[in-house]
């Protein structure tokens, strides 16, 4: 679908970005900077995709859902696989279906509702951290970063604590990439099948045993769909919602907490400021989100010809929105490659932008804020144990699989 002229132009310039290359993924920022400066519209011939890397371009495309569609998926390999998206996956929908289905969840994630969760989140943090005091170190992922989001979303969905770890492991295993290659074409269908098997019994049990949780609300809420029919969600749609919430509620927040541990380990003076003045933590977390966005790349299907930087991208192509690159764009953020907890940030794209702005952003911010507060209370000083740190490589998020730190 791409013209020979366009392929040749980008192939000859020497800049190469590959979302499946683990070496690039370790630190993609130098390459993204070159893309912003030299190839703001980039084309990769190997995997046949375009990419936008500048702030203004990513912002405009994120708002323009009509021409940059999510309905075929938001991962490069999903769009290329050309599969039918299961119902209930609002991140894989465009308006008007997206708006109707998103509204069903919006009331469950209002700021006031999320704020009321703080005591419970703090209790989860204390339960994770108290046994680690005096041990000489802990793992930002295994000991708290993966635990608190899992407990919180599990509680909201109504999944018993004893089953939450097994569910998270199923999701983690399904998302991992093999080095140097995209996942198999049936990856998403396989993950969906695995997760559906995990959640199906809970949903069937909730039908006869309603409770005060999201799963029950999804099963019982009535709404008017895009055809004008008033109805409840089907069992398949409820499964889609639960799959989405379980995955999103675990992955992004886990990586955010991990990046906070890594960056504050590397910037001890700024870390000590946060320990002395916890009121600075929310602003510092916005800088973590800007500087190391846990969800760095979003894919879109181009529905009609679009022009970027004097070149045409024809309908039917895939464009990657490099949101993490946009968050380091010097045209928008002075000293963009410096981590500065006092930076005033009007807007970043760590949670997306436009109609697909992350519904769980307030929950992720709350969990990360409380986790960092509780960590700094007990451990105002740490350094990363790089010998045993392990970076995770997936199509959806970027961050740490294990980030152990040493404490006094």
Which residues are CB-neighbours of 52 under 8 A, at least 6 positions away?
A: 40, 41, 42, 58, 61, 308, 319, 320, 321, 322
What's the gap between Cα 307 and its chain centre? 28
Mean predicted confidence (pLDDT) in 73-79: 91
Task: List pLDDT tens digits, range 249-262.
Answer: 888 999 999 999 99
Task: List pLDDT tens digits, range 112-158.
Answer: 889 999 999 999 999 999 999 999 999 999 999 999 999 999 899 88
Question: How many Cβ atoms from other residues are within 10 Å of residue 277's Cβ?
Answer: 9
Q: Which pairs count as long-range contacts for 272-276, CB under 8 Å and 24+ apart, including other chains?
A: 272/380, 272/381, 273/341, 274/341, 274/372, 274/376, 275/376, 275/380
Which residues are CB-neighbours of 78 under 8 A, at least 6 positions away?
A: 72, 92, 188, 299
DSSP code, position 144? I
Residue 2: which pLDDT band, with cuts at 50, 70 and 90?
Answer: very low
pLDDT for 408 = 93
CATH superfamily for domain 4-406: Cytochrome P450 (1.10.630.10)
Helix axes 147-157, 235-266, angle to 10 degrees: 160
Please give the full DSSP string across 376-387, using - where no structure is assigned. Answer: HHH-S--EE-GG
Greatest CA separation for the chain: 63
Residue 239: which pLDDT band, with cuts at 50, 70 and 90?
Answer: confident
- Domains of the chain: which residue ranges? 4-406
Q: State the average pLDDT for the chain.
A: 89
Distance CA 256, CA 258 (A): 5
| Beta bridge pairs of residue 52 | 41, 321
Task: List pLDDT tens digits, range 8-39.
Answer: 334 445 899 999 999 999 999 999 999 999 99
Instruction: Characterize the bridge pairing of strands 398-402 and 390-393.
Output: antiparallel
């Amino acid at each position: 679908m791409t013209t020979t002229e366009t392929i040749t132009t980008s192939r000859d310039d020497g800049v190469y970005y590959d979302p499946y290359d683990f070496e690039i993924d370790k630190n993609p920022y130098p390459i993204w900077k070159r893309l912003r400066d030299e190839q703001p519209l980039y084309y990769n011939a190997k995997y046949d995709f375009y990419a936008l890397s500048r702030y203004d371009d990513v912002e405009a495309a994120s708002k323009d859902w009509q021409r940059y569609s999510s309905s075929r998926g938001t991962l490069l390999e999903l769009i290329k696989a050309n599969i039918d998206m299961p119902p209930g996956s609002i991140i894989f929908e465009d308006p008007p279906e997206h708006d109707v289905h998103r509204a069903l969840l919006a009331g469950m994630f209002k700021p006031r509702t999320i704020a009321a969760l703080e005591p419970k989140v703090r209790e989860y943090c204390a339960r994770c951290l108290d046994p680690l005091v005096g041990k000489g170190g802990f793992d930002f992922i295994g000991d708290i970063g993966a635990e608190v989001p899992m407990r919180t979303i599990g509680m909201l969905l109504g999944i018993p604590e004893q089953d939450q770890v097994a569910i998270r492991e199923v999701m983690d295993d399904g998302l991992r990439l093999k080095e140097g290659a995209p996942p198999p074409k049936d990856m998403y269908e396989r993950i969906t099948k695995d997760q559906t098997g995990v959640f199906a019994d809970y949903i069937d049990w909730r039908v006869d045993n309603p409770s005060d949780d999201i799963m029950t609300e999804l099963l019982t809420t009535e709404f008017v769909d895009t055809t004008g029919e008033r109805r409840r969600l089907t069992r398949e749609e409820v499964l889609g919602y639960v799959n989405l919430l379980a995955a999103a509620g675990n992955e992004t927040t886990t990586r955010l907490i991990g990046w906070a541990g890594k960056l504050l380990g590397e910037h001890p003076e700024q870390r000590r400021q946060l320990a002395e003045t916890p009121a600075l933590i929310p602003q510092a977390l916005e800088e973590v989100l800007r500087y190391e966005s846990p969800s760095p790349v979003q894919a879109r299907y181009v529905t009609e010809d679009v022009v970027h930087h004097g070149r045409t991208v024809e309908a039917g192509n895939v464009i990657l929105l490099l949101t993490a690159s946009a968050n380091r764009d010097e045209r928008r953020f002075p000293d963009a490659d410096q981590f500065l907890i006092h930076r005033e940030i009007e807007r970043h794209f760590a949670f997306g932008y436009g109609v697909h702005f992350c519904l769980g952003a307030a929950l992720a911010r709350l969990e990360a804020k409380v986790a960092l507060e509780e960590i700094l209370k007990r451990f105002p000083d740490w350094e990363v144990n790089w010998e045993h740190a392990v970076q995770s490589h997936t199509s959806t998020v970027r961050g740490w699989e294990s980030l152990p730190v040493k404490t006094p």
